[in-house]
Amino acid sequence: ADLRPLTVITNNLAVIQDLAGAGGINLIALGGQYSKKFHGFFGLLAEASLRSLRADVAFLSSSAIHGASAFHQDQEVVQAKRLMMAAATRKYLLVDHGKFGRSALHFLTDLKAFDAVFTGREPEPGMRSTLDAAGVSLTVVADKD
């Protein structure tokens, strides 16, 4: 379903470039210090913007899922993601199946903080049991052939 008109708030340069000319999209680009590693904008300016905005939905990613928690290797990214979560009514985590069973330096949040977690493949049975026991709403999204 086409949801336009739609407002998109992002700190990701690729998303900004992809949506810059799209019709029916009100694009809000967060400023800040550009990170080549993460292809996005972070730091004080991005954080100040996030504190002043509200969103219906936030779609986030994470570089590692250990147990029933999300982690990331960069503290500025964690801070931005936490602020994105605080600004949104509904929160969804989009995570590659290969991130399950991994860890990173900084704790982001427990997965139960998300309304749903989406992944492309079923995690290992032990991981699935851990997520179910923690009350995590996990949805496996299959590719359309």
Q: Are residues 107 and 138 in the same domain?
A: yes
What residues contact residue 128 under an 8 Å CB cut-off, 6+ apart?
122, 138
Q: Are residues 73 and 128 in the same domain?
A: yes
Based on the domain organization, do 77 and 144 belong to the same domain? yes
Range of the domain at 43: 1-53
Last residue of a domain, one of 38, 53, 68: 53
Q: How many domains does the chain have?
A: 2
From residue 4, alpha-carbon distances to 1, 15, 77, 87, 102 in Å are 9, 16, 29, 21, 37
Q: What is the pTM of this model?
A: 0.92
Based on the fold, state whether residues 43 and 2 are members of the same structural domain: yes
pLDDT tens-digit profile of 117-142? Answer: 999 999 999 999 999 999 999 999 98
Question: How far lies 26's CA from each of 13, 63, 96, in Å?
Answer: 16, 28, 28
Asked if residue 97 and residue 49 are part of one domain, the reply reads: no
Q: pLDDT tens across 82-120, in order? A: 999 999 999 999 999 999 999 999 999 999 999 999 999
- Regarding whether 43 and 19 lie in a shared domain, the answer is yes
Average pLDDT, the chain: 96
